[in-house]
Amino acid sequence: MLILGVDSSGKNGSIALVHFEAGKPHTIEVVPLEGGTFSAQLVPQISGLLGKHGLTKQDIDAFAVVSGPGSFTGLRVGLAAIKALAEILRKPIVAVSLLEAVALAAKKQGSIVAALDAGRGEIYVAEYKIKGASAELVEQKLLSSAEFSDHFSGSVLATPDQRLAELATTKQISLIKVEAIRADHIAMLAVWKVQSGETVSPERLDANYIRRSDAEIVRSSKAK
């Protein structure tokens, strides 16, 4: 099985090709994407990556894409590209939460809280129950630094962000520091979801922003 993974959720992103054989993943290549120009880079980079390894779009068996949380514009660009490719090629899509990927990267069974820096002094958090290779979402929300410290005191925290790691240490929160999530990690998670039927059609693929876009906030303020 060949999976194309895409992450356009943050300031910088990546695409990756991961091949699975006998249940074992092999990362063919990870290509970084520079933030701010995802719309111009994404499709050409996918085409170039496939061509470099003697592959075509028809060789892709499934798509894996980060559905959030993250940048409103970045997520929209990534999801739109995958929707179009999957619809044309009639291949399944797996939508992966970046927070879920962080939680599973901690390699700890039981309850764990995944956290990501959301900017603006805020933090994306989600609590999961980990069992084997699956993660059951308990709750997710957007918190301030103060709320985070109070809300998750006594929990085991997983994060790739240094600022949050330092905050957790200061507040004596048990910490598991994980490496930054890339598109190949997303693709590796997707294979199990494909096999268990956890896929989504192009028309049902949507982003999970957790917080509203700036445009929505402005419209809401004007309405008031």
Answer CATH for 107-177 from 3.30.420.40, 3.30.70.920, 1.10.357.10, 3.40.50.720 = 3.30.420.40
**Where do you find CATH 3.30.420.40 in the chain?**
2-98+181-223, 107-177
Q: What is the model's pLDDT at position 153?
A: 66
Model pLDDT, residue 211: 64
CATH T-level topology, domain 2-98+181-223: Nucleotidyltransferase; domain 5 (3.30.420)
Q: Tokens 């739109």 appear where?
A: 80
- ω into 160 cis (within 30 of 0): no
Res 165: pLDDT: 92
| Max Cα distance, the chain (Å) | 58
pLDDT digits (tens, 9 = 90+) for 96-146: 999 999 999 999 999 999 999 998 889 999 999 999 888 999 999 999 888
Q: How far apart are CA 117 and CA 139, in angstroms?
A: 17
Give pTM, 2 decimals: 0.89
Q: Which residue has the tokens 């990267």?
A: 105
Q: What is the mean pLDDT of residues 29-54?
A: 90
